[in-house]
């Protein structure tokens, strides 16, 4: 775990609750307390009404793939062990979009509209990355 050499998120005051959530294996999304907008990525101000009165709610951790791409080659050395890997945009049931890796499946099996669920990868003692895997039928 301590030999993780890939980039990790830089935690900002306004995104800290999100990363505290992933560390506890909970997926949190921001919710504006004024207008109710659900927001991802975490921000200081609501993009809908500019309020700074922001709260958090726990997402179900389910969604569908909006788009995806598979990387086969041409990466920095530290990512070679991951090839091939899938990066996708996920439409969460709660109405926000997140970007993440799709894991635990053959990249050829990933498709637009595929139902996925969040999994948590504890990459360091401080950082847990949310990733996505196909929902087993």
Query: What gap in Å lies between CA 12 and CA 15, rounded to an integer?
Result: 5
Residue number, 42 or 100, with CB nearest to Zn ion = 42
Residue number, 50 or 93, with CB nearest to Zn ion = 50
Do the Cβ atoms of 67 and 89 come closer than 8 Å? yes
What DSSP state is assigned to residue 14?
A: T
Do the Cβ atoms of 40 and 48 come closer than 8 Å? no
Closest distance to Zn ion from the beta carbon of 43 (Å):
10
Closest distance to Zn ion from the beta carbon of 49 (Å):
3
**Residue 127 has which token pair?**
């950082």
Closest distance to Zn ion from the beta carbon of 37 (Å):
5
Residue number, 34 or 117, with CB nearest to Zn ion = 34
Residue number, 32 or 102, with CB nearest to Zn ion = 32
- Angle at 15 (CA atoms; ends 69, 31), nearest 5 degrees: 90
Residue number, 51 or 99, with CB nearest to Zn ion = 51
Residue ranges in contact with Zn ion by CB under 5 A: 32, 34-35, 37, 46, 48-49, 51
Closest distance to Zn ion from the beta carbon of 30 (Å):
10
Residues 6+ apart with CB under 8 A from 119: 103, 104, 130, 131, 132, 133
Helix residue ranges, H only, the chain: 16-23
């Amino acid at each position: 775990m301590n030999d993780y050499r890939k980039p990790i998120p830089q935690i900002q005051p306004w995104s800290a609750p999100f990363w505290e959530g992933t560390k506890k294996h909970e997926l949190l999304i921001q919710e504006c307390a004024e207008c109710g907008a659900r927001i991802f990525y975490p921000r200081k101000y609501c993009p809908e009404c500019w309020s700074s009165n922001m709260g958090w709610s726990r997402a179900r951790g389910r969604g569908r793939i909006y788009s995806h791409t598979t990387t086969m080659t041409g990466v920095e050395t530290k990512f070679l062990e991951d090839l091939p890997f899938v990066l996708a945009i996920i439409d969460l049931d709660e109405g926000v979009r997140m970007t993440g890796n799709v894991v635990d499946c053959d990249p050829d099996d990933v498709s637009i509209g595929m139902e996925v669920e969040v999994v948590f990868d504890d990459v360091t003692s401080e950082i847990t990355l949310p990733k996505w895997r196909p929902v087993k039928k």
